[in-house]
Amino acid sequence: MSISLKEIQAPIAPEMQQFEKKFRASMKTRVLLLDRIMSYIVKRKGKQMRPMFVFFTAKLFRESIGEASYRGAALIELLHTATLVHDDVVDDANYRRGFFSVNALWKNKIAVLVGDYLLSKGLLLSLQNDDFELLKIVSNAVKEMSEGELLQIEKARRLDITEEVYFDIIRQKTASLIASCCAVGAASAGASKEDIEKARLFGEKVGIAFQIKDDLFDYGTAEIGKPVGIDIKEKKMTLPLIYALREADWVTKRKVIYNVKNNNGDNKRVQQVIDFVKKSGGIDYTVQLMNHYHAEALAILHTFPDSPSRRSLEYLIAYTIEREK
């Protein structure tokens, strides 16, 4: 697919500009240090796929974007940014999307307080406008993300994650956020409970396909945009490796797990794991499953009437599995 994210965003470009203004305004504070940090966070915004999912899903049910949809998108950005700031503290990470993290520039204590501030801003934004349904959707996603992260930490110690547990982790850690974007979009446009759940499930399938694509980035296939072997170096059990280990004999399995556990950043050992996964059909199996979830997402999307927004969502989910970084 040759269409770019900017081209996909074109039908809602005015709404995205309006959202950015509203979001910047919502981040203003009288505390000088906090205001400086908020400005830094806003300037480092990524692809803005989350607000795009909110707005395109809202437009499935209502042609014009209402204030509730803007608030819903802002709520997701505030709560998600809070989790990222806290994640960087937990991971002792100095960079986020190529920029210094908040904790790297202002230390952990300030970063934790900033995360708390963003969380409270999101809660107040919803409560002050009686957006209880939106708050319920997004709060549930944050709970799921935390549980998924803790489940991964618990299971990673033994490197014995099954495919079933893997899908539990990515459904909670990654897919729950995109699911909440779509559910918020539908709810903010006045959709029925049935359609809100359908939109949520659509987002969940997209989120799972998105994470599987991210797993493939570790194995140096042609589309890859990040350094290979990062997940292996960090001892993360992703789908290609889980499948390859499941298909391996006991001796090979022990040797590979030893290499993952004791790689210590050794590129030679990491490459041996990558070669093993490729020879075992781990890449082909993972691509097949990614395409399966893509197809399931499309099937749900096609239960909604054809419209420019529905076509934009088709482009957006195609972009998530064909992106190069």
Q: Which tens digits make up the pLDDT trace of 196-230? A: 999 999 999 999 999 999 888 877 654 444 456 67
Q: Which domain holds residue 255?
A: 5-322
Number of domains forming the structure of the chain: 1
Quote the crossing angle between the two packed helices 49-61 and 193-216, to the nearest 10°.
150
The alpha helices in 157-249, defined as continuous H runs, are 163-170, 176-188, 193-216, 230-233, 239-247
Q: Is the pLDDT score of 324 beyond 80?
A: no
Average pLDDT over residues 239-263: 84
Q: What is the pTM of this model?
A: 0.88
* Residue 36, both tokens: 């400086």
Contacts of 183 (CB under 8 A, 6+ apart): 137, 196, 197, 199, 200, 203
* Residue 22, both tokens: 């509203």
Letter string b/e over residues 22-39, b meaning 16 or more CB atoms within 10 A of that residue's CB:
ebeebbeeeeeebeebbe
Contacts of 215 (CB under 8 A, 6+ apart): 231, 238, 239, 240, 286
If DSSP codes are grouped into helix, strand and coil, which group holds residue 127? helix
CA geometry: angle 265, 111, 18, nearest 5 deg: 105
Q: Is the pLDDT score of 265 beyond 70?
A: no
Contacts of 315 (CB under 8 A, 6+ apart): 1, 3, 7, 8
Using pLDDT thresholds of 50, 70 and 90, give the confidence band for residue 325. Answer: low
What whole-number distance in Å separates Cα of residue 146 and Cα of residue 318? 28
What whole-number distance in Å separates Cα of residue 247 and Cα of residue 302? 36
Average pLDDT over residues 67-76: 91
Quote the crossing angle between the two packed helices 49-61 and 13-26, to the nearest 10°.
120
Using pLDDT thresholds of 50, 70 and 90, give the confidence band for residue 97. Answer: low
| Portion of the chain with pLDDT greater than 90, in percent | 34
* Residue 153, both tokens: 């930490």
Point out the least confidently predicted range of 8-12, 288-292, 303-307. 8-12
What Cα–Cα distance (Å) separates residue 238 from each residue in 233, 244, 289? 12, 10, 13
Average pLDDT over residues 69-76: 91
Quote the crossing angle between the two packed helices 176-188 and 193-216, to the nearest 10°.
150
Average pLDDT over residues 79-107: 74
Point out the least confidently predicted range of 17-31, 67-81, 212-226, 232-246. 212-226
Mean pLDDT of the chain: 84
Which stretches of the chain are assigned E, i.e. beta strand?
A: 95-96, 99-100
Q: How large is the C-alpha radius of gyration of the chain?
A: 20
Q: Which of 34-43, 216-225, 258-267 has the highest mean pLDDT?
A: 34-43
What Cα–Cα distance (Å) separates residue 95 from each residue in 85, 91, 268? 11, 11, 26
Q: Which CATH number characterizes residue 152's domain?
A: 1.10.600.10
Q: Is the pLDDT score of 147 beyond 70?
A: yes
Query: What totals of helices (H) and strands (E) does the chain contain, helices first?
Result: 16, 2
In this predicted model, which residue has the larger pLDDT, 166 or 100?
A: 166
Per-residue pLDDT at 96 = 67
